[in-house]
Chain A
Amino acid sequence: MSEYAHPETLVTTDWVAEHLNDPKIKLIEVDVDTKAYDAGHIPGAVGFNWQTQLQDQTTRDIVSKDDFEALVGGAGVSPGDTVVLYGDNHNWFAAYAFWLFKLYGHEDVRLINGGRSKWLDEDDKELTQEVSSVTPTAYTAKPADLALRARLQDVLKIVESGGVNLVDVRSPDEFTGKVIAPPGMTETAQRGGHVPGAVSVPWAKAVAEDGTFKSADELRGLYLDAAGVAEAKPTVAYCRIGERSSHTWFVLKYLLGIDNVRNYDGSWTEYGSVVGVPIETGEPARAVR
């Protein structure tokens, strides 16, 4: 049985419980709906709001370097700290934050395997409503590592020339174009379908029922064998708004060790709305369902 390529990027809930008082370990809960954090969080954790704090509030873009530094410094994090992330919705938004931390050059970032729901389900794990005490730091980020990020023009080039694995991690109905977005979502697109040439591997295939990641062997079988992701080629993962694809980006890059993987954070809400770009609808040639 093979190991994950970078097992150090995942921690267990038990490991977290044992390190709650370690001053070099900074716990951050990342939610789309911060009600959950307010109702109760892991002792010592600070809360980030994905919608208001991890994106630029004017331009549609990731949070700027300056704002990222202010946010992370405000959470009491220093560049040498171990940042441990977890969150709601099966760690999607925590995975997005993981991607941002890596993009801005933070060395030691980890995800809690199973996220918030696993912690909730374990009787010996505590939650608190107590406000975590934080000593702000003057955090300095590195210039954004754009090799981790795919932009629209990159995806358009891929559509034209090929040679890159495109992994669509949305639900099968979003992929085929039957629906543009899951019911009730406000962020949608003008057309339903997928980027031509993409393979369909819904993000949830990567996790077991309790939300923890599947074994390295299972993941290799899923992405490399069944979906035909070629390790030698660059890979781009996308979804609807870039959060589910961060989860898959993490799996491909850190659990399977594929070197060149980018997250297309514009995802379908951008691609599916642009005038004149080619899209495909219907069943994929290869799908993992």
Chain B
Amino acid sequence: MDYPHADPFGAHPLEQCPVSSDRNVYDSVLDLLPSEDNPSPMVRLGRANPWRETFPLYAKLEWQNPFGSVKDRAAWALLRKLEEADELSADRGVVAPTSGSTGLRLAAIAAARGYPMKSVVPNKVPLEKKVLLKMLGAELEVVNDNLCPSPGMGEGSIGLAKTFAKAQRNKWVMPNQYENEENTLAHVRTTGPELWRQTEGKVTHVFLRLGTCGTVSGLSRALKERNPEIKIVAATPTEGHDVPGLRSRSELGVSKLFDERQADEIIEIDHELAYERALELMRTEGLLAGPSSGLIFEAARIVAERQSAAESPDVPYFGVMIFCDNAFKYVSSFIKHRPELAENTTA
């Protein structure tokens, strides 16, 4: 297949309205996926950044991707890999353990392609995400994970997804997003080159969060190859957090993609601040930031303040924050952490 976005079941572009990215007319939602030529947008922070004169910060808005998250990239790469290996059909679908974000994108892409999808999610995943998975046609298996923190070992949802893939080989195949190299390569191929081109190579700091760690490993690889001086700063929530999709230090062992050396600095942040900073981004910048973006913003603030107080650098600072997804799916999490948001909402 020359054109990877083409419908494998044979639909043709409509002649009446020729596809043209210049006019934003596309043949498939998959054509909207980000790439070096179609990067997710970057927006400079204004009032929210008190150090904007010395340490400008830009937010790369991954929620502008067609399925609304940084995970669009990994999901597409994982599914393409399975397609290339001829693993998928209308009868044999994808089973994936997920905290929601990758699963949603896999479900959307599987729906666009016509493959069945089964998602195994931990119970703590917000209701919105669970229901969205079902809305996209995925079967849902909910696992009571988190019985006890068990550093370095697989969670129940990973085990159950593996079980389906093993016991029902003819029905399901599992793209293991926690181990699969494609997760990293998606960022080596797209996010890294995009960011480099968008900043004209001037980026000095990248701020991101640690989840399955594909972003940190892929961006670190892609950017350090271009300029080894670029600092990768990872934000991680404190233990016992409930910031969906993120991992604290002790939870990181689950991801085989993670290698501490990929980040120049890991900043542990009180998870309550994730919500506070996200609200600040909404109220001072109009950015509909989800809690993980709040966490990343706090890490960026810490570094911007510290570096602004230090001696002037040889090269001007240029920070880019990878904002993974927006606030819409996390309204109930916001209410839990800031109960006053729900006050006076009825007549």
Contacts and interface: CB of A to CB of B under 8 A. Distances in A.
Asked if A pairs with B, the answer is yes
Interface of A: 32-33, 35-36, 39-41, 88-90, 92, 116-117, 120-121, 126-129, 170-171, 173, 178-179, 182-185, 203-204, 207, 209, 211, 240, 244
B77 to A, nearest CB: 23
B147 A89 contact: yes
A90 B168 contact: no
Contacts of A129: 167-168
A203 B153 CA distance: 13
A244 B150 CA distance: 11
B162 A185 contact: no
Interface stretch (B41-49, B84-92, B138-146): B138-146
A109 to B, nearest CB: 23
B29 to A, nearest CB: 32
B316 interface: no
A269 to B, nearest CB: 13
B14 interface: no
Given A39-B163, A120-B166, A209 B141 contact: no
B240 A183 contact: yes
Contact of B163 (A36, A173, A179, A204): A36
Contacts of B164: 39-40
Interface in B157-204: 159-160, 162-164, 166-168
B242 interface: yes
Contacts of A204: 150-153
5 contacts: A32-B147, A36-B160, A171-B149, A204-B150, A204-B153
B229 to A, nearest CB: 34
- Interface pairs A-B: 8 shortest CB-CB: A40-B167, A127-B167, A40-B163, A39-B163, A127-B166, A120-B162, A209-B152, A171-B149
A238 B143 CA distance: 25
B159 A120 contact: yes
Nearest to A239: B148
Given A129-B168, A173-B240, A244-B148, A117 B143 contact: no
B253 interface: yes
A75 B146 CA distance: 29
Nearest to B147: A89
Nearest to A89: B147
B159 A35 contact: no
Nearest to B161: A39
A140 to B, nearest CB: 33
Given A32-B147, A129-B168, A204-B151, A183 B159 contact: no
A214 to B, nearest CB: 12
A32 B162 CA distance: 18
Contact of B124 (A35, A92, A184): A184
Contacts of A170: 148
Nearest to B250: A171
A250 to B, nearest CB: 16
Interface string B217-241: 0000000000000000000000110
Interface of B: 123-124, 141, 143-144, 146-154, 156, 159-160, 162-164, 166-168, 239-240, 242, 253
Contacts of A121: 162
Contact of A173 (B147, B153, B162, B239): B239
A16 to B, nearest CB: 15
B167 A39 contact: yes
B139 to A, nearest CB: 12
B123 to A, nearest CB: 7
Contact of B153 (A90, A126, A182): A90
A196 to B, nearest CB: 23
A129 B239 CA distance: 37
B148 A171 contact: yes
B215 to A, nearest CB: 23
Contacts of B144: 32-33, 184
A129 B168 CA distance: 8
Given A33-B144, A39-B160, A128-B167, A117 B153 contact: yes
A167 to B, nearest CB: 16
A137 to B, nearest CB: 28
A160 to B, nearest CB: 29
B10 to A, nearest CB: 34
A231 to B, nearest CB: 27
A188 to B, nearest CB: 13
B147 A182 contact: yes
Contacts of A88: 156, 159
A209 B166 contact: no
A52 to B, nearest CB: 14
Contacts of A173: 239-240
Contacts of B148: 89, 92, 170-171, 182, 203, 240, 244
Given A33-B144, A183-B242, A89 B156 contact: yes
Contacts of B239: 173
A173 B151 CA distance: 14
Given A183-B242, A204-B152, 18 more contacts: A33-B156, A35-B141, A39-B163, A39-B168, A88-B159, A89-B150, A90-B153, A92-B148, A120-B166, A121-B162, A127-B163, A170-B148, A179-B240, A183-B146, A183-B240, A184-B146, A185-B146, A244-B148
Contacts of A33: 143-144, 156
Contacts of A128: 167
A20 to B, nearest CB: 15
Contacts of A207: 153
B123 A184 contact: yes
Contacts of B152: 204, 209
A16 B345 CA distance: 60
A90 B153 CA distance: 9
